[in-house]
Structure 1
Amino acid sequence: MVKLVMCVCRRSELSLEEFHDYWLNHHGPLLQKFASSYKVYRYVQSHTIDTALNKAVCDSRGMLSSEYDGVAELWWKSEAEFLEAINSEEGQKLRTIFLDAEAKFLDFSKSTAFFTKEHIIVE
């Protein structure tokens, strides 16, 4: 398995509630609709909640307080399968669709993405 992790920030004109609603109820179903064509095995959205615990956990470790509004996780069975999906003719069309859709609610300049391999320690 290979996983793409995206730590995302909303566009400045969106409230946190508007951002989460759009991401969950508009973008989520869009990706779900094309998941099999894009060979996405699993997709999870984690929405940041407004709690004093965020600052407390960062302060207790000397960490910077995160300004991320959420985390998206997308799994593929392998890097080869991911590359096959995005390099196909349909994958290229879907990539454009997803990027255009994401531009409506994400601030790319404040967000980041990276691939990971999971090591499950506690199940």
Structure 2
Amino acid sequence: MVKVVVICKRKPGVSLGEFNEHWRTTHARLVTRLATTLNVGRYVQSYRGGSEAIARFVEERGWSNGDYDAITELWFDSAESLAAAFSSPEGLAALKELHEDEARIVDMPSVLAWVTEENVVLDKTKGA
């Protein structure tokens, strides 16, 4: 399993509410529509927690979110599947469409991204 992890923050002038609304609806629908073209098997969005309990938990540990607003994870069956999607004419067109949407709300120069092979050590969500 190969995963692309992207950490991003919103563009200056875009409120957290505007960012979250666009990311959770417009951008999510776009990724869902393009998932087959891009060989994406799973797509997960994670957002900065907004509750007092979460803020206190983070503060007590001295952690920082570096002003980042969201983490996106895209799963692929293999490195070959990822490479094929990101090099085909259809895949390149899909990536262009995604990039254009991201550029509306994401501070693109601050994006952090990497490709990783996932090593699940514990997963209690799958049952015993």
Kindly tell me: are residues 68 and 54 of structure 1, through their superposed partners in 2, closer, same or farther at Cα, counting changes over 3 Å? farther
For residue 12 of structure 1, report the CA deviation from its aligned partner: 1.2
Kindly tell me: are residues 64 and 83 of structure 1, through their superposed partners in 2, closer, same or farther at Cα, counting changes over 3 Å? same
| RMSD (Å) for aligned C-alpha atoms | 1.6
For residue 110 of structure 1, report the CA deviation from its aligned partner: 2.0
8 Å CA contact 1:5–1:114 kept in 2: the answer is yes
| Aligned equivalent of 1:111 | 111
| Aligned equivalent of 2:100 | 100
8 Å CA contact 1:4–1:74 kept in 2: the answer is yes
| Aligned equivalent of 1:28 | 28
8 Å CA contact 1:4–1:115 kept in 2: the answer is yes
Kindly tell me: are residues 25 and 64 of structure 1, through their superposed partners in 2, closer, same or farther at Cα, counting changes over 3 Å? closer
Question: Given the alignment of the two structures, is residue 11 of structure 1 paired with residue 11 of structure 2, yes or no?
Answer: yes
| Aligned equivalent of 2:40 | 40
For residue 111 of structure 1, report the CA deviation from its aligned partner: 2.1
| Aligned equivalent of 2:70 | 70
8 Å CA contact 1:54–1:65 kept in 2: the answer is no
In structure 1, list runs of 5 or more residues that go unmatched: none
Could you state the TM-score of these two structures normalised by the residue count of structure 2? Answer: 0.86
For residue 61 of structure 1, report the CA deviation from its aligned partner: 4.4
Q: Aligned equivalents of 2:15 and 2:65: distance in 1? A: 19
Q: Deviations over 1:3-47 (max 9, x none)?
A: 000111001111111100000110000110110111001000011
Q: Aligned equivalents of 2:27 and 2:45: distance in 1? A: 10
Could you state the TM-score of these two structures normalised by the residue count of structure 1? Answer: 0.89
When the two structures are aligned, how many residues end up with a matched partner?
A: 123
Q: Aligned equivalents of 2:65 and 2:94: distance in 1? A: 34
8 Å CA contact 2:4–2:74 kept in 1: the answer is yes
8 Å CA contact 2:49–2:55 kept in 1: the answer is no
Moved more, 56-65 or 76-85: 56-65
| Aligned equivalent of 1:85 | 85
